[in-house]
Amino acid sequence: MLQELAIHDFAIIDHLALSFQPGMTALTGETGAGKSIIIDAVGLLAGGRGSVDFIRTGTTKASLEGLFDAQENPATEAKLQAYGVMDPDQNDTVLLQREIFRTGRNVCRVNGHLVNTTTLKAIGETLVDIHGQNEHQQLMHPQTHLGLLDSFAGDDLLKLRQHTLMFIT
């Protein structure tokens, strides 16, 4: 769960600091208020594709920082250990940081350790799952049903297929 988010010089945002409480959080506001920009920032913080276009006009870099509760997230813990960025003093939280410079350079950190964007993404995708507007409409297309069922069933489906083939051949 995202606990804190800090954004500096990102798109139209000069400085923004948010704290989130447990439970659901809804971002509301008028068109153009910046809701999508906040979501874009979280996506970049989790390893999404960056661009110098995200840097606020007149500044040299955009900075993003997010503190996540990873207390009961074994996938995150496994990734942190695999990449050697586990913080033994703060094993229940993860700090993601990203700076995007006008030169196109990115500086990414996980728990204070420098990492590349691939590592940031591998860890970030265990912490963040962003769903866009109208994404649920994929369920209305029959051509997506088999893929969804396969991904839901995972290894169990493969085992069932192998078991069934034993009786057919």
pTM over 0.75: yes
* CATH architecture under which domain 2-124 falls: 3-Layer(aba) Sandwich (3.40)
Q: Domain ranges in the chain?
A: 2-124, 135-168
93: tokens are 């939280």
CA atoms of 129 and 94, how far apart (whole Å): 16
pLDDT in tens, the chain (169 residues): 899 999 999 999 999 999 999 888 888 888 887 889 999 999 999 999 989 999 999 999 999 999 999 888 889 999 999 999 988 777 789 999 999 999 999 999 999 999 999 999 999 999 988 776 666 666 677 777 777 777 677 777 777 777 788 888 6
Alpha-carbon separation of residue 83 from 16, 56, 104, 114, 122 (angstroms)? 30, 32, 24, 11, 10
Sheet holding 2-10, edge to edge: 13-19, 2-10, 61-69, 93-101, 106-110, 113-115
